[in-house]
Amino acid sequence: MAPDCLFCKIIAGTIPANRVYEDEFCIGFPDINPQAPTHLLIVPKEHLASLAKADPEHTPLVGHLMAAATEIARSQKLSNGYRIVVNTGEDGGQTVHHLHLHLLGGRPMLWPPG
Which residues, including other chains, have CB under 8 Å from residue 71's CB and lie 6 or more apart? 21
- Average pLDDT for the chain: 96
| Phi-psi sector, 66: left (phi>0), alpha (psi -120 to 50), beta | alpha
The answer to whether residue 114 scores a pLDDT higher than 80 is: no
Spatial contact of 76 and 99, defined as CB atoms under 8 Å apart: no
Which residues, including other chains, have CB under 8 Å from residue 114's CB and lie 6 or more apart? 93
- pLDDT mean over 80-93: 96
Tens of pLDDT, residues 59-75: 999 999 999 999 999 99
Determine how many CB atoms are found less than 10 A away from the CB of residue 41: 21
Active-site residue identified among 39, 97, 100, 102:
100
100 part of the active site: yes
Tens of pLDDT, residues 24-59: 999 999 999 999 999 999 999 999 999 999 999 999
The answer to whether residue 7 scores a pLDDT higher than 70 is: yes
DSSP 3-state percent helix, strand, coil across the chain (nearest 5): 25, 20, 55
